[in-house]
Amino acid sequence: MRVLLKLELDCTPDAAWRALRSPAVLREVVAPWLDFTSLEDEGLPTLWPEGRHRVRALAFRRFAAGDEQVDVSYPGGLPTGVRMLRDAGGALTGPLAVFDRWDHRMAVSALPNGRTLYRDQLLAHAGALDLVAWYPTWAFWQWRGMRLRQLAPGWSYDPPGTADAEAAAAAATGTDGAAAGSAR
Which sign, positive or negative, has the C-alpha torsion 95, 55, 161, 165?
A: negative
Largest pairwise CA distance in the chain: 65
E strand or H helix at 105, and its extent? strand 101-110
Its pTM stands at 0.82
d(CA 37, CA 24): 10
76-104 confidence digits (pLDDT tens)? 999 999 999 999 999 999 999 999 999 99
136-155 confidence digits (pLDDT tens)? 999 999 999 999 999 999 99
Query: Are 30 and 144 spatial neighbours (Cβ–Cβ below 8 Å)?
Result: yes
d(CA 107, CA 90): 19
Please report the pLDDT score of residue 156 as a whole number: 80
- For 33, residues 6+ apart whose C-beta sits below 8 A from its C-beta are 59, 60, 140, 143
Q: Where are the domains of the chain?
A: 2-157
- Residue 127 clears pLDDT 60, i.e. is over it: yes
- Residue 120 clears pLDDT 90, i.e. is over it: yes
What's the CATH class of domain 2-157? alpha beta
**pLDDT bracket for residue 24 (50, 70, 90):** very high
